[in-house]
Chain A
Amino acid sequence: SFELTQPPSVSASPGQTARITCSGDALSNQYAYWYQQKPGQAPVLVIYKDSERPPGIPERYSGSTSGTTVTLTISGVQAEDEADYYCQSADSSGTYVFGTGTTVTVL
């Protein structure tokens, strides 16, 4: 199976931009998805198919891709954005893999 690598932590002050990267060879030809998880809660999908935003997700969340790296950007970070974030993708056989996870801290 393949691997997806994320930085363990990212921090930003309120109003600044937080960027979380996710790297893996499979990302060059497979979509990436991003999930937000707050303590004691189930994950929430915030970006699908690299850059699409589900209904109800604030516009400050955006996704982009370049080669084997995808990036989740939170523009104008707010205190409520403090959470763990996971990328996820799948290979052509339908095997899913999650990234290692990134904790976003709002300073």
Chain B
Amino acid sequence: QKEVEQNSGPLSVPEGAIASLNCTYSDRGSQSFFWYRQYSGKSPELIMFIYSNGDKEDGRFTAQLNKASQYVSLLIRDSQPSDSATYLCAVLNMDTGRRALTFGSGTRLQVQP
């Protein structure tokens, strides 16, 4: 079982719709959760992070965390063609001493104009 799992996609949504990206993780001790966006041929850039169960909103982006279900998601409202990219989920367990992000393989999002 992969430590962080994401559906590779592509997830295709029309412009203006809500895109929902999902991620599950296997380490119950994970404490911090991150969403990175990576455009083709570019480096990852941080969109959001979340530590507590529930929702966290930042502009058009909402991160949702459910630690009991070991599930984290990213919602993108009013999706734009410029949101088309690969979205990487990453988790962190500081207690292991490893202190490194574990990434999923990403979900490719396509927003159709």
Do A and B associate with each other? no
| Residues of B in contact with A (beta carbons under 8 Å apart) | none
The interface of chain A, by Cβ under 8 A from chain B, is none
